[in-house]
Amino acid sequence: MKILQIAPLWETVPPPAYGGTEAVVHLLIEELVRQGHDVTLWASGDSRTSARLKSCFPRSLRGTGDFYAKSVYSSLHASLALEDAHHYDLVHNHAGEEVIAISHLLPDMRMLTTMHSAITPETRRIWDNYNGFFNNISWSQR
């Protein structure tokens, strides 16, 4: 199966220290590759993976002090990853609302979103308009 994994641009995959989402993404991808799946990861350019790596920025955004630049590159990351989605059988989104917010532009795309963070009042509308599949990592997200 051809699988596109989209990780947040905020931290490398795997993370050098803390990075729960990125650690989960890394373990999942390495197992999918080991099982013979054709996996592509959209993540920061300094990520390390057995999958094919694609990125719009050479390093994670964690150390970037400019919030505006972080926002712009994170949006670019989401749009380029989804632009690439038609090449895959399944898209697995770990990057959250930035990807979900534009996923409606590809209504035929098969996408699973893993909820790594809680839905907040600010993000509720984005989730309410999401038509894809999702799974929770915590009972508190139900």
- Output the 3-class SS for 51-90: CEEECCCCCCCCCCCCHHHHHHHHHHHHHHHHHCHHHCCE
Q: How far apart are CA 139 and CA 104, in angstroms?
A: 27
Report the percentage of the chain scoring pLDDT > 90.
79
**pTM beyond cutoff 0.85:** yes
pLDDT of the residue at 100: 96
Domain membership flag for residue 57: yes
Model confidence at 125: pLDDT above 80: yes
In the structure encoding, which two tokens stand for residue 13, read together? 């995959």
Question: 47 in a domain, yes or no?
Answer: yes
Q: What is the pLDDT of residue 142?
A: 62
Mean pLDDT of 19-37: 96
Q: Is-contact 88 76, C-beta < 8 A?
A: no
What confidence tier does 127 reach under pLDDT thresholds 50, 70, 90?
very high
Number of domains in the chain: 1
Q: What angle do CA 23, 72, 58 make, to 5 degrees?
A: 50
Q: Mean pLDDT across the chain, nearest whole number?
A: 93
| Interatomic CA distance for residues 141 and 119, integer angstroms | 7
CB 25 within 8 A of CB 51: no
Does a structural domain hold residue 24? yes
Task: Judge whether residue 140 has pLDDT over 70.
Answer: no
- pLDDT per residue over 65-124, tens digit each? 777 778 899 999 999 999 999 999 999 999 999 999 999 999 899 999 999 888 899 999
**What is the C-alpha separation between 133 and 142, in angstroms, rounded?**
14
> Is there a domain that residue 46 lies in?
yes
Domain span at 78: 2-137
Across the range 36-48, mean pLDDT stands at 98
For residue 69, is it within any domain? yes
- 142 in a structural domain: no
The enclosing domain of 61 has a CATH number of: 3.40.50.2000
- Over range 49-60, report the average pLDDT: 97
**The pLDDT of residue 133:** 92
